[in-house]
Amino acid sequence: MNGKRTPLVLGVLVSGSGTNLQAILDAIREGRLDAKVGVVISNVAGAKALDRARSAEAATLVIDHKSHASREAFDHAVVEALRSHGVSCVVLAGFMRLVTPVLLDAFPHRVVNIHPSLLPAFPGIHAQADAIRYGSRVSGCTVHLVDTGVDTGPILAQVAVPVLDDDDEAKLRERILAKEHELLPTVLKWIAEDRVEVVSRSEGMRPRVRIKLDAVTSPDDAA
């Protein structure tokens, strides 16, 4: 634990099974990630992710996108909920909604997504099937900062996973998911340690993320 840094408070947005949320909760419980889940918000009332959050005694909230007139109105409700729970970093963990500048501007460079391909290959919701259909020999997962595009924001980290001859979508999804569960808490740890920096570059070059190598530690940590 670091005595000086304000602990990272995560707001995790989910729509489904929540295995990545579980990986975050496990990492926190096991002391691998110095953060707190401030709130888990689902746009789907029956999402299994909500049960996982409740089991870990994390606050939960359902905000149904269908009861909001626009994506922006929905995001306003989400931002209000995130703020009221003291959230400093937002994680899209299987959240099946496009987000708008309403959310992105409220948490600049602090909205993170996990995607089951090596971006920029195979953005969108059928990434694993698309990799198999294409005949890729390698796919994987990407954790990136979110911008207004679909799976286009600055890349934080990637892990490659081979595509095997007898892979179907389900098999590849499972093998990629196992890597997602390692990668996402690792990247959140970098953010918690304030080691992530977004670097603007010359025209025609997209912003790049730099991960500062030296962990910021206080003298207390060495003890």
Contact pick of 27, 114, 145, 187 for ligand GRF (by CB under 6 A): 114
Question: Which lies closer to ligand GRF via its Cβ, residue 16 or residue 154?
Answer: 16
DSSP structural state of residue 169: H
For residue 180, state whether it binds ligand GRF (rule: CB under 6 A).
yes
Q: Go through 126-164 and write b for each residue having 16 or more CB atoms within 10 A of its CB, e for each that does not.
A: ebbebbbeeebeebbbbbbbbbeeebbbbbbbbbebebe
Binding segment (CB under 6 A) for ligand GRF, from list 34-42, 61-69, 100-108, 111-119? 111-119
48-55 and 19-29 helices, crossing angle to 10°: 10
Q: How many residues bind ligand GRF (CB under 6 A)?
A: 13
Contact pick of 2, 5, 7, 17 for ligand GRF (by CB under 6 A): 17
Q: Which of the residues 41 through 80 are near ligand GRF (CB under 6 A)?
A: 49
Report the amino acid identity of residue 97: R
Question: Which lies closer to ligand GRF via its Cβ, residue 17 or residue 152?
Answer: 17
Closest CA to 14 of 6, 23, 5: 23
Q: How far apart are CA 58 and CA 35, in angstroms?
A: 12
Residue 141 phi, psi (nearest 5): -140, 155
For residue 153, state whether it binds ligand GRF (rule: CB under 6 A).
no
The answer to whether the beta carbons of residues 119 and 158 sit under 8 Å apart is yes
Is 126 designated active site? Answer: no
For residue 115, state whether it binds ligand GRF (rule: CB under 6 A).
yes
Question: Which lies closer to ligand GRF via its Cβ, residue 88 or residue 142?
Answer: 142
Cis geometry, peptide bond prior to residue 120 (ω within 30 degrees of 0): yes
For residue 20, state whether it binds ligand GRF (rule: CB under 6 A).
yes
Shortest Å, Cβ 16 to ligand GRF: 4
- Catalytic residue, chosen from 109, 115, 144, 181, is 115
Shortest Å, Cβ 178 to ligand GRF: 11
As a three-state string, the secondary structure of 114-154 is EECCCCCCCCCCCHHHHHHHHCCCEEEEEEEECCCCCCCCC
Shortest Å, Cβ 69 to ligand GRF: 26
Q: Name the residues that contact ligand GRF, by CB under 6 A.
A: 16-20, 49, 93-94, 114-116, 177, 180
Catalytically annotated residues: 115
